[in-house]
Chain A
Amino acid sequence: MVKLMGDMRTGYGETLVELGAINKNVVVVGADTTQSLKTNLFGIKYPERFFNVGIAESNVVSIAAGLALSGKLPFASTYAAFIPGKCVDQIRNAIAYGNVNVKIVVSHGGLSVGPDGGSHQQLEDLAITRTIPNMHVIVPADETATRKLVYLITEMHGPVYMRLARPKTPQIYEKNDTDLKIGRSRTVRDGSDATVIACGLMVTEAIEASNILKENGISCRVIDMFTLKPIDKDTIVKTARETGVIVTVEEHSIYGGLGSAVAEVLVEQYPISMRRIGVKDTFGESGEQNELMAKHGLEANNIARTIQELVKEKKR
């Protein structure tokens, strides 16, 4: 079956243009990556509300804070390697500390950046942003989710970190699917023997793993945990109770991201057998996306294998 592909960055850029028409206070601050991020689409339509302040990420997020403090609704964007990479202080003190209404939307999260190599493969951003008070952390799984979630973050007050991926991605959600809420997860495959909780590109791999497992007689649920913070505790506890086995998958360090967030809930509320699949405390490197994913076990076969092991243990 040919998968319908989407592009998160196009979804982001086009949604900004739509928002620009609806809300005159929407402004965009960029850092010389505006063509790549597709925020230039907004810049073409609304040049007076578009500020490309150059290769100066600390300045980008701080100017966004100033704009927000004067009533604007700023989106600050570049690659995840540099925001939050180069400006954690400004995100913490100038934005989150005062609960300032800045929406940080970055692209090029994770290993899927590919050939650009380890310096550009951001694997710690979710851990960093998740620990900052007031911050919301969101990782859409496809273009449709990106479009919907960009809308949703404008409807809430407070700082947001949203991480997009560089490559084109298979569409998980139907184009007119709008059943996404910030702070809630979404079950994209039902199942009763085990659960995979994933975010971003890994949701596709998790679905693929679920298909593999089905052939092997294991019914595996897949949850798209697109909001890492505030995390959907109810669903995590519910699926733990119902399926008894949880594996998390993320294109991020196993420290501090989705796996940690899920573990934090389970260990206090419903301890069960769990594994985290992610990058094991190391940096990335140059390579093609599929090669990198295979090397770090971020692919369907490894997810399926891990689930099989846990299900076997559960039955013992």
Chain B
Amino acid sequence: MISLESQELIRLTEISKNTRKLILETVTEAGSGHPGGSLSAVEILVTLYFYKMKHDPKNPSWKDRDRFILSKGHASPLMFSILAQTGYFPIEELKTYRKINSRLQGHSDYRTPGVEYSGGSLGVGLSIAVGMALAAKLDNKSYRMYALLGDGELQEGQVWEAALTAAKYKLDNLTAIIDRNGIQQDGLTEQVMPLEPLAAKWKAFNWNVLQIDGYNFEQIINSLENAENTINRPTVIIAHTTKGKGVSFMEWSPEWHGKAPKKESLEKIIKEELGL
């Protein structure tokens, strides 16, 4: 078990706060996008990109890098805010998000430096990560695959095809993380199409299953370490999260799945909600 030094905790917390600010600014400038599902997984991506993963923003195609697959491609404001902060492209470029001729598309997309896969169509990303994990095994490489899935996305049957496959090939180099915020576009996941008992489903598919608080850095890090130390089985981390996390009126609100705040209210939101 790792317990973070307070300095490290402060660093990750500050980056997360700034990421939320960038998400809100980016979506607001674009006038559209998906803030809810972006805000919900901030700490997970901050931990991966600023603490855990081996990657090189100056060399996005570095062969030995860890691979991150954003299966829930609509969380592109989060993805791009993270990539910009780590240096894959200038933070200024976030202002071009969703605009014509931009490298920053409405859903995460190959044309953005640092993006491994275009994840607009849900339910596919885990299969992509499985393919990458098989390739890594063939090449005897130690890099790891991380895939972030939305919980609503688990209603796609293909996710379970990929789950079967990862277990068959004992892909212990693959970690799936589920952003379990309980909300999808039309409402609560448990009303639209119930997923529970979710952990039992993954256990039945022969995965190593972990459940964490998606905002507790120590739990995030420890679950990633656990995954890394698990042999012969893929790991799924069910991260319990809150859609719209950090902006009180967006929290638990399906309405903010795919809607941008108004420009005139942005400054107030950042000040009052994020304290920045």
Contacts and interface: CB of A to CB of B under 8 A. Distances in A.
Contacts of A63: 127-128, 130-131, 134, 162, 165
A72 B123 CA distance: 22
Contacts of A69: 116-117, 128, 131-132
A137 B130 CA distance: 27
Contacts of B67: 70
B118 A90 contact: no
Interface string A194-214: 000000000000000000000
A10 B117 CA distance: 34
Contacts of A89: 121, 124
Given A66-B129, A67-B132, A51 B162 contact: no
B110 interface: yes
A93 B161 contact: no
State the main secondary structure of chain B at its contact with A: helix
A280 B127 CA distance: 37
A54 B164 contact: yes
B119 to A, nearest CB: 9
A275 B132 CA distance: 47
Interface residues of A, number: 27
Nearest to A70: B135
A97 interface: yes
Interface in B161-177: 161-162, 164-165, 168-169
Contact of A66 (B131, B161, B169): B131
Interface in B122-174: 123-124, 127-136, 138-139, 157-158, 161-162, 164-165, 168-169
A252 to B, nearest CB: 26
Nearest to A62: B127
Contacts of A74: 131
Interface in A64-123: 64-72, 74, 89-90, 93-94, 97-98
Contacts of B135: 27, 66-67, 70-72
A70 B120 CA distance: 20
Interface of A: 27, 48-49, 51, 53-54, 56, 58-59, 62-72, 74, 89-90, 93-94, 97-98
Given A59-B127, A70-B67, 6 more contacts: A56-B164, A62-B127, A65-B127, A66-B128, A72-B138, A98-B110
